[in-house]
């Protein structure tokens, strides 16, 4: 019995020596305290539950359209403080009356009365006898209605708890300011069993190492109302923070201020989850196909319309007004370069006003039906609908519609109506292009709206063209 105890003791001593000698290798092994193994298992389990819960709270997001917008101008607008909304009527009433008299030349306001009316005091009224002016507050702007003479826009900034009203003094400068926007039409759906809080600031657009946050598109000026792409974007729902119930879906637009026109490296993410789209890369290819197409082949007209001269394949900007008969990337870049050259040649005391907008939008993989015979009084509407009944195109602005038939383009030019059959297209891409080039130096305002339908192989099969040319002072 004693000998057996000695043997056991010897074995234990040898095991201890083995453990101690292993420490000489430089590696340290931490022996867990009693009960800590159980705690570690609980922590790991808790982490997995949190991650799983997070994944369940990510909605399904798909891209329904891609838009790219370029804008430039050489405007040098100065913001001039007028008054605080909260202090009129009050100790800043004289600021408002001084602006109306000295800047807008309304002498009758000198002895006018000022009241504030409407919901939440949202309207300031200046009046004397039969003359009156109303100023209506609306978020970041104030609309001044001057009797029957028209309207005047003011700008509003909420600063230190007050609504400060500004006027803008317009001027021009030698530097051209360029802005790029990418806008995505998104379909967002909650496929889970719990409500999901969708956060707009969770959406980010990545371009390599650059990350762009969601923003608002620029306010549209009076000229932008001529551009169909911008009008469509303006009329669509803008995504905001919202709670989606199980099975609920949401459609809308989100915009990003970016550094270039469309790019294959653009990557949309919601938090850390990539918004994948099998059609995104092909949508970019469809945009490129539409942008670099020579529309003279389809429409049978040269790219430029020259004032007092025949149409031409070469623009003349120095001595003649030049407008675009149709637009692609090459024509856009030609007008863009012309603006820069004209501005640099101008004397400092007479810098011309230059403005330009170039907007593109693509809808991928649509089953389409084109109805060209929908007529209204004195006009013809070209209507294109997808298989869900959504109108992709509905316009009466038509100079010509070119359709690819037997590998050649047939041009249909409207008189009172388009004489052409109903047509169906499967897995097609719709590209819309709008362009505006304004040059005060030449008295030229060139506006173009085009619709292009491409088949699943990205052949251009339909072109709708509508140029509008203005002489401006």
Q: Which residues have C-beta within 8 Å of that of residue 353, sequence separation ≥ 6? A: 73, 74, 75, 172, 438, 439, 440, 441
Identify whether the C-beta of residue 432 lies closer than 8 Å to the C-beta of residue 228: yes
SS3 252: strand
**Whole-number pLDDT of residue 230:** 94
Is residue 284 a contact partner of residue 265, using CB atoms and an 8 Å limit?
no
Please compute the mean of the pLDDT values over residues 322-331 and round it to a whole number.
Answer: 95
Tokens of 321: 């007004």
303 touches 322 (CB < 8 A): no
State yes or no: pLDDT of 47 exceeds 90: no
Every domain of the chain and the residues it spans: 60-73+181-280, 78-169, 293-471
**pLDDT recorded at residue 338:** 87
For residue 426, pLDDT over 70 is answered with yes
**Domain 60-73+181-280 classified CATH 3.40.980.10?**
no
291: left (phi over 0), alpha (psi -120 to 50) or beta: alpha
Summarised one tens digit per residue, pLDDT across range 134-177 is 999 987 788 898 877 778 889 898 888 889 999 988 788 888 89
Check whether 318 has a pLDDT greater than 50.
Answer: yes
CB neighbours of residue 202 within 10 Å: 16
- DSSP bridge pairs for 423: 370
Per the prediction, the chain carries an average pLDDT of: 83
Bridge partners for 410 per DSSP: 403
What does the pLDDT read at residue 56?
59
At 99-111, the pLDDT tens digits run 999 988 899 998 8
More confident residue, 18 or 101: 101
Comparison of pLDDT for 290 and 145, the residue scoring more: 290
Local confidence band at 257 (pLDDT 50, 70, 90 cut-offs): very high
Identify the residue with better confidence: 326 or 279.
Answer: 326
pLDDT at residue 39 above 70? Answer: no
User: How high is the pLDDT of residue 307?
Assistant: 77
- pLDDT tens, position by position, 192-238: 999 999 999 999 999 989 999 999 887 666 567 789 999 999 999 99
Identify the pLDDT of residue 76: 84
Q: What is the predicted pLDDT for the residue at 22? A: 40
Q: Residue 18: what pLDDT?
A: 41
Indicate whether 26 pLDDT > 80.
no
pLDDT at 96 over 60: yes
> What DSSP string describes 174-208?
EEEEEEEEEEEEEEEE--SSS-EEE-GGGEEEEET
Q: What is the model's pLDDT at position 78?
A: 81
pLDDT at 57 (0 to 100): 73
> Which candidate, 310, 360, 356, places its Cα nearest to that of 75?
356
Question: Considering the entire predicted model, what is its pTM?
Answer: 0.74
**pLDDT tens digits, one per residue of 378-397:** 667 889 999 999 999 998 88
């Amino acid at each position: 019995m004693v000998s057996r105890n000695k043997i056991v003791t010897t074995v234990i001593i040898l095991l201890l020596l083995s453990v101690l000698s292993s420490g000489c290798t430089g590696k340290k092994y931490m022996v867990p305290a009693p009960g800590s193994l159980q705690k570690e298992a609980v922590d790991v389990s808790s982490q997995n539950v949190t991650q799983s819960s997070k994944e369940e709270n990510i909605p399904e997001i798909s891209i329904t359209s891609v838009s790219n917008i370029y804008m430039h101008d050489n405007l040098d607008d100065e913001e001039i403080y007028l008054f605080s909304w909260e202090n009129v009527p009050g100790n800043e009433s004289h600021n408002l009356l001084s602006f109306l008299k000295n800047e807008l030349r309304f002498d009758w306001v000198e002895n006018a009365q000022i009241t504030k009316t409407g919901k939440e005091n949202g309207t300031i009224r200046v009046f004397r006898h039969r003359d009156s002016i109303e100023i209506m507050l609306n978020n970041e702007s104030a609309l001044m209605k001057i009797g029957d003479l028209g309207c005047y826009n003011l700008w509003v900034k909420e600063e230190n708890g007050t609504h400060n009203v500004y006027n803008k003094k317009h001027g021009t400068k030698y530097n051209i300011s360029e802005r790029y926007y990418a806008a995505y039409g998104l379909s967002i759906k909650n496929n889970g069993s719990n409500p999901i809080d969708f956060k707009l600031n969770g959406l980010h657009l990545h371009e390599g190492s650059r990350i762009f946050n969601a923003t608002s598109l620029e306010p549209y000026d009076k000229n932008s109302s001529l551009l169909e792409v911008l009008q469509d974007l303006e009329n669509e729902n803008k995504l905001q923070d919202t709670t989606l119930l199980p099975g609920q879906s949401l459609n809308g637009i989100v915009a990003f201020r970016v550094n270039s026109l469309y790019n294959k490296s653009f990557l949309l993410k919601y938090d850390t989850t990539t918004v994948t789209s099998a059609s995104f890369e092909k949508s970019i290819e469809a945009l490129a196909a539409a942008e670099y197409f020579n529309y003279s082949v389809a429409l049978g007209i040269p790219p430029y319309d020259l004032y007092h001269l025949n149409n031409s394949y070469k623009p003349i900007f120095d001595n003649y007004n030049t407008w675009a008969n149709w637009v692609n990337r090459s024509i856009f870049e030609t007008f863009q370069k012309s603006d820069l050259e004209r501005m640099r040649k101008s004397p400092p005391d007479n810098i011309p006003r230059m403005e330009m907008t170039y907007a593109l939008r693509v809808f991928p993989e649509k089953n389409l039906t084109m109805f060209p015979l929908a007529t209204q009084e004195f006009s013809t509407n070209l209507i294109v609908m997808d298989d869900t009944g959504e109108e992709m195109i509905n316009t009466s602005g038509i100079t010509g519609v070119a359709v690819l038939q037997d590998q050649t383009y047939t041009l249909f030019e409207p008189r009172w109506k388009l004489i052409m059959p109903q047509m169906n297209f499967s897995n097609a891409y719709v590209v819309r292009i709008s362009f505006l080039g304004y040059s005060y130096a030449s008295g030229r305002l060139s506006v173009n709206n085009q619709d292009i339908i491409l088949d699943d192989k990205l052949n251009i099969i339909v072109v709708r063209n509508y140029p509008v040319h203005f002489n401006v002072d």
